[in-house]
Amino acid sequence: MKTLLKVILPPLVAFAVFLVVVKFNMATHTLELGTISDGNIYSLMAYFKLFAALPLVVALLTQYLIIVPLWNKLLQKSVGAFLIAFFAIVLICIIFATGVSYIIWDQSQGIKPFTRFIFYFTVIQINYWAIIFFILYLLDLKVIYKSKKTELPE
């Protein structure tokens, strides 16, 4: 049951946070199918508004196949392992943000939009993973503190 909770709850919370951001911005920007090809942050928001089910399924599969097993292994390791995993995730976020930014970048607009896309996408991904790992941390709080108590000399 706890594994199922670890798989479902973190992505749902992360997507709920993103949904709130999208809904909040809908008051100032229309998010329609035609805006997806505009190549800006609002086109990404329109994509997630219109096709939220597909990224959610991908997030749940990623959580089940990669993140939960990785998290369970990290629980048995030291704080250094968490730091290495954190920096690896940041690096992966930057690489994917750069790739997606390059794909949607209109080169005739110059380098500034490209660097803004990289920044926005990296921040979005890092926030997503921060929410994911924070929820996992809360779910395993007892396990973490129990392991710290057994390591301390009495």
Alpha-carbon distance of 30 to 33, in angstroms, equals 10
Share of the chain above pLDDT 70, in %: 78
How much is the pLDDT for 78?
84
Alpha-carbon distance of 73 to 71, in angstroms, equals 5
CB 48 within 8 A of CB 22: yes
Alpha-carbon distance of 133 to 13, in angstroms, equals 11
Supply the DSSP string of 54-109, one letter for each residue: HHHHHHHHHIIIIIHHHHHHHHTS-HHHHHHHHHHHHHHHHHHHHHHHHHH--GGG
- Is the confidence at residue 75, as pLDDT, over 60? yes
pLDDT digits 0-9 by tens, 113-141: 889 889 988 998 999 999 999 999 999 98
Give residue 153's region: left, alpha or beta (phi > 0; psi -120 to 50).
beta
How much is the pLDDT for 35?
59
How much is the pLDDT for 51?
73
How much is the pLDDT for 151?
57
Q: Which CA distances in Å does 149 have to 142, 146, 152, 153, 154?
A: 11, 5, 5, 8, 9
How much is the pLDDT for 90?
93
Has this prediction a pTM greater than 0.95?
A: no
Average pLDDT over residues 16-44: 68
- Is the confidence at residue 153, as pLDDT, over 80? no
- Is the confidence at residue 57, as pLDDT, over 70? yes
Domain boundaries, the chain: 2-151
